[in-house]
Amino acid sequence: MSGQAGQFIASGWDSFTTLRFGGNPAAVVIGAEGYTDGWYRGMAAELNPTSETAFLLMSQSPHVDMRVRYFTRTTEVPFCGHATLAAAYAWQRFVSPSAAFPTRCTFETSVGTVPLRLNWEGGLLGSVTMQQRTPELAGPVRDVETVARILGITRSDLNENLPVQAVSTGLWALMVPLRSHDVLSGLQPRFDDMAAYSVNSAVSGLQVFVLDRPEGKAWCAHVRNFGPAVGIREDPVTGSAGGALGAFLASNLLGATGHLDLHISQGTEMGRGGEMAVEVRTGVDGTMTVTVTGSAVQVWEGRLV
């Protein structure tokens, strides 16, 4: 495809949900080759002003299916989980022949290649599993009072059984454990202070969560994600930070050889509830493999002129 008028296929998806108007909205544009960053930001602002837009582009590498760039209305981000999920659905819908029922595809991103598994259910694409980058974990944050203050809470509201810690599986986010659901739902962040803190700490935002483990079941986390530094005050469901949270919990709860299955729910405070499944598998050498699985539903499609 070329970047000629009428050749851009655009579509809108709600990620990490099976219900329209739930989860996290993402726009996907196919065929917009060779434009400036300002053009991509402008198009992202037009199509999806509250979240990310993924641009599926041709790649020079024979080992990947397409290249992906992610933009918000204000900036380019190196990786975005929910937009990757939407891009995989759009790739299957518009680029790959549907009759072939592809089970694998690979995207090239700014943080490296992202392998994806397409999970079919009765002839329909039921979910997509993305393998995120090998996790990186920074040291625990010492000044937790500042973190509490920018969230509008006190240190006593933090779950001090876990550290406050920055983690990346492609995009750095600060993991902030809280002690109760009431504290999480009642957060009143100081967004200007949070944006400055995020920039100074080199994180995209704060992944704030409460952890539960119902008897006999997998770990569960309810999450809120705040990213004012990248133009998103609150994100409904955040795939990149979801994978990072899985790595954080595996490292801090289970040690060097732990395997973790985690169910994440997010977005209910925004009226856009969604969920994802995170798996962390740790090899004998201590290397973690993190995958995130979720569904998406198409909301709209069209051609840009």
Averages of pLDDT over each 10 residues, the chain, 305 residues = 63 97 97 95 95 95 96 94 97 83 94 96 94 96 98 98 97 97 98 98 98 85 97 95 97 81 97 97 90 98 86
- DSSP string of the chain, one letter each residue: --S-TT-EEEEEEEES-SSTT-SEEEEEEES--S--HHHHHHHHHHH-TTS-EEEEE--S-TT-SEEEEEE-SS-EES--HHHHHHHHHHIIIIIS-GGG---EEEEEETTEEEEEEEEEETTEEEEEEEEPPPPEEEEEPS-HHHHHHHTT--GGGB-TTS--EEEESSSEEEEEEBS-HHHHHT----HHHHHHHHHHHT-S-EEEEEEE--TTS-EEEEEEEEEGGGTEEEES--HHHHHHHHHHHIIIII-TT--EEEEEEE-GGGT--EEEEEEEEE-TTS-EEEEEEE-EEEEEEEEE-
Q: Would you say residue 119 lies in a domain?
A: yes
Predicted local distance difference test score (pLDDT) of residue 99: 64
pLDDT for the residue 3: 46
Q: How far apart are CA 86 and CA 11, in angstroms?
A: 9
Query: What per-residue confidence (pLDDT) applies to 213?
Result: 87
Q: Would residue 216 count as lying in a domain?
A: yes
Residue 122 sits in the same domain as residue 26: yes
Look at residue 231 and tell me if it is in a domain.
yes
Q: How far apart are CA 302 and CA 305, in angstroms?
A: 10
Residues 148 and 196 in one domain: yes
Question: In which domain, by residue range, is 22 found?
Answer: 8-130+296-304
Q: Is there a single domain that holds both residue 269 and residue 141?
A: yes
140 with 125, same domain?
Answer: no
Are 156 and 126 found together in one domain? no
> Which pLDDT score, from 0 to 100, does residue 98 have?
66
One domain, residues 140 and 279: yes
Is residue 106 domain-shared with residue 150, that is, in the same domain? no
Regarding whether 57 and 171 lie in a shared domain, the answer is no
Residue 291 in any domain: the answer is no
- Clarify whether residues 105 and 24 are in a common domain: yes
Residues 149, 91, single domain; the answer is no
Q: Which residue is catalytic, options 46, 52, 136, 215? A: 52
pLDDT score at 49: 92
Known active-site residue 108: no
In a domain, 2, yes or no: no
Site of tokens 């380019």: 76
17 and 94, same domain (yes or no): yes
* 3 is a domain residue: no
Total structural domains within the chain: 2
Contact (CB, 8 A) for 244 and 169: yes
The domain that holds 277 is classified in CATH as 3.10.310.10
Indicate if 282 and 167 belong to the same structural domain: yes
Q: Which of 112, 105, 46 shows the shortest CA–CA distance to 78?
A: 112
Q: Is residue 1 part of a domain?
A: no
